[in-house]
């Protein structure tokens, strides 16, 4: 393996948050470093088209560099840009969107508006998952993943992206597991009991949920846990236990039991209230979610006679918020629990012109095309992978007047945008919205209009 040490001038930041430099005309991606800096780096991997390197020392610092407040910053896999000024973060995020649209989508005429910055740049998350793993000394760790490693968890002291109470709860659970000698899950050998602690706290209502995710089996002495935890944190609204025996390292449950409380929290967006359960998808930056949705609705310019199809609707927030401005909304979601919660949310907000359907988006679109159904507007808010190819083909065959596309991944958005434009739509502009300060992630809202 090539272990050369070189001095490298950093010129840019890549889509994945890594720094970019060049050595003898060859691109080098670096872990660490900011544009304008000269660094001493070690090449750790050499490929035909590019090299990968890690920064050993900063020879000349950039004016864009700031001190990262988090003690875990040097090795945590979360905040890769915490040492970059926030205005520069927004600038590089806009550049990522422009690059993706031009390079992947071939859409050089689409205007990319300035990024809407987050109202809060720290403690903005309403949800965070913390992982257990066994340690080599016979103990265990509870915290977050080391950068680039699925199998290494460091003990969390304090996370600056969550409310302070989340870090305190993590420390308390760590001590409780030690005191009660509960076994901890080994992510390499797939054995052991305690797997994740997931904490949700609503920003508008302050409702607080603790979700303990374990391997299969009832939680030992649950009453003891509840008494101890609620005594330490009387603000907890509900404690939930989820069992997950699958090897996939994700903090969702197959079997759920509510240990105390109602099993959900409530959050407000604009004037509406939404219930969020342990396994529900809900945007993790509540305040900035309003900014994202408002940007999408402003671009959409919905009319009272519009019939709207809301795909990947989750727990129904977009459709419910839009329902008061259109004739009717049909939401489609694959996850049964999310559909049930969406129906509850519609009832909770006394919205009667929304109908939620459980099903696969691509299958629903196939049946809609066959039945010659028509919708004025289609909303899509897909996962990071973007639209399924069959769903994309059937969407454009449905031929709505407008498509509101909300994306959390500019590269897959650009790929899908190319196909939608080729099918006869125009994309005048895109509005990026920063939901996740100090990370390389960027969301965006856009509206395709049929020619």
Cα→Cα distances 300→295, 333, 352, 393, Å: 9, 22, 22, 22
Nearest-angstrom CA–CA distance, 276 and 286: 12
- Say how many CA atoms lie within 13 Å of 28 toward its Cβ: 28
Q: Report d(CA 354, CA 367) in Å as an integer.
A: 19
408 is an active site residue: yes
Token code pair at residue 53: 């390197």
Q: Tell me how crowded residue 284 is: count the other CB atoms within 10 A of its CB.
A: 17
100: Cβ contacts below 8 Å, ≥ 6 apart: 15, 410, 411, 413, 414
Distance separating alpha carbons of residues 227 and 173, to the nearest angstrom: 13
Residues linked to residue 5 through DSSP beta bridges, in sequence order = 42
Residue 244 to residues 152, 195, 247, 258, Cα–Cα distance (Å): 20, 8, 9, 15
Give the DSSP H or E segment for 383. Answer: none
Single out the catalytic residue among 76, 159, 313, 408. 408
Which residues are catalytic, by number? 408
């Amino acid at each position: 393996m090539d272990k050369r040490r070189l001095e490298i001038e950093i010129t840019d930041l890549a889509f994945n948050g890594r720094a970019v430099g060049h050595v003898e005309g060859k691109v080098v991606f670096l872990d660490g470093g900011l544009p304008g800096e000269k660094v001493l780096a070690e090449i750790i991997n050499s490929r035909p088209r590019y090299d990968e390197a890690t920064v050993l020392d900063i020879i000349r610092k950039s004016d864009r560099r700031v001190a990262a407040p988090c003690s875990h910053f040097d090795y945590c896999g979360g905040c890769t840009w915490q040492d970059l000024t926030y205005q520069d973060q927004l600038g590089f995020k806009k550049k990522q969107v422009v690059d993706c649209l031009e390079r992947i989508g071939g859409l050089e005429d689409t205007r990319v508006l300035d990024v809407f910055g987050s109202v809060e740049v720290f403690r903005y998350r309403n949800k965070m998952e913390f992982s257990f793993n066994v340690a080599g000394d016979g103990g265990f760790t509870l915290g977050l993943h080391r950068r680039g490693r699925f199998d290494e968890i460091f003990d969390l002291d304090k996370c600056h992206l969550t409310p302070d109470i989340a870090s305190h709860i993590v420390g308390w659970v760590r001590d409780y597991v030690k005191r009660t000698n509960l076994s901890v899950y080994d992510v390499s050998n797939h054995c052991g009991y305690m797997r994740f602690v997931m904490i949700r706290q609503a920003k508008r209502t302050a409702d607080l949920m603790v979700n303990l995710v374990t391997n299969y089996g009832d939680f030992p002495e649950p009453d003891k846990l509840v008494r101890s935890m609620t005594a330490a944190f009387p603000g907890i609204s509900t404690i939930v236990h989820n069992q997950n025996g699958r090897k996939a390292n994700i903090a969702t449950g197959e079997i759920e039991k509510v240990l105390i409380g109602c099993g959900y929290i409530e959050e407000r967006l604009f004037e509406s209230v939404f219930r969020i359960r342990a396994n529900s998808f809900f945007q993790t930056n509540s305040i900035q979610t309003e900014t994202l949705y408002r940007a999408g609705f402003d671009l959409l310019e919905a009319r009272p006679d519009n019939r709207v199809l809301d795909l990947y609707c989750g727990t129904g927030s977009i459709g419910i918020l839009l329902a008061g401005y259109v004739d009717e909304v049909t939401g489609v979601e694959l996850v049964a629990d999310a559909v049930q919660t969406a129906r509850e949310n519609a009832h909770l907000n006394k919205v009667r012109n929304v109908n939620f359907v459980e099903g696969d988006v691509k299958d629903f679109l196939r049946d809609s095309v066959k039945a010659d159904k028509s919708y004025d507007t289609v909303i899509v808010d897909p996962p990071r992978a973007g639209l399924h190819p069959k769903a994309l083909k059937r969407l454009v065959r449905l031929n709505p007047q407008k498509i509101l596309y909300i994306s959390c991944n500019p590269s897959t958005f650009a790929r899908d945008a190319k196909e939608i434009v080729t099918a006869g739509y125009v994309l005048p502009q895109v509005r990026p919205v920063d939901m996740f300060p100090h990370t390389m992630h960027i969301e965006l809202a856009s509206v395709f209009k049929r020619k």
